[in-house]
Amino acid sequence: MTTLKNIPCLIGGAAVLAAATIGLTAGLAPASAAPNQTPGANLYVFPDPANSANYRVTIKGMFPMSEYDAHGYINNLGTGERPDGVKIVGGIEYNLLGDDPDNNDRGLSQHWFPLAGSGPEGYLKAESDGIHYLREISLPKSALNEDDGVFDDTDEVYAYVRFVDGDGGVRRAYTNPVSGTF
């Protein structure tokens, strides 16, 4: 008779153990939903030495192609025109996104740089192996704080880079995700 009285306890214990096992297994899923990193596209995040309230975000990479094509694209960024006569100005766009596992990545910061050139915070230029890009952006620390929940306050960010040529054609690249408590 004692055995029959213990069956509900055993079933309850088994249910708790099963729920705990499922919970632990679900916790092992990767947190990243970012697209696969494009070879050579990299994101770096460091405290900004010029402003302690900001982070210095560096996005660097290249779009591989022949030197001839790279110079052609760069030299013609401002010469495009759509069939309806609207002028097209090419350039490069940098988007920082919060990496969330539900594929609902939130835009954190967007920066458009028309045409090509070099300056103290970056460049867009043709080289022998393709179009190279680099951009350093100083952002307030709060701009990178994309997770501040009770159970998850680790922020995961990555960059989406979009190169638009003079005819409106687009090349895309995705950087590595960077994690931290921003």
Q: Say if residue 61 is in the same domain as residue 105.
A: yes
* Single-letter amino acid code for the residue at 136: E
Q: Say if residue 123 is in the same domain as residue 135.
A: yes
From CA 159, how far away is CA 18, in angstroms rounded? 39
Q: Say if residue 20 is in the same domain as residue 89.
A: no
Q: Say if residue 79 is in the same domain as residue 99.
A: yes
CA 169 from chain center: how many Å?
21
Identify the helix (H) or strand (E) that includes residue 118.
strand 117-119
Would you state the pLDDT for residue 27? Answer: 38
pLDDT tens for 7-45 read 444 444 444 444 433 333 333 334 556 899 999 999 999
Q: Say if residue 40 is in the same domain as residue 123.
A: yes
User: Are the beta carbons of 105 and 98 closer than 8 angstroms?
Assistant: yes
pLDDT tens per residue across all 182 residues of the chain: 555 555 444 444 444 444 433 333 333 334 556 899 999 999 999 999 999 999 999 999 999 999 999 999 999 999 988 889 889 899 999 999 988 766 567 789 999 999 999 999 999 999 999 999 999 999 999 898 877 666 667 889 999 999 999 999 999 999 999 998 88
Helix (H, G, I), strand (E, B) or coil at 129: coil
Tokens 């290249």: give the residue. 62
User: Are the beta carbons of 48 and 182 closer than 8 angstroms?
Assistant: no
Structural domain containing residue 2: 1-30
From CA 134, how far away is CA 137, in angstroms rounded? 10
Q: Say if residue 89 is in the same domain as residue 153.
A: yes
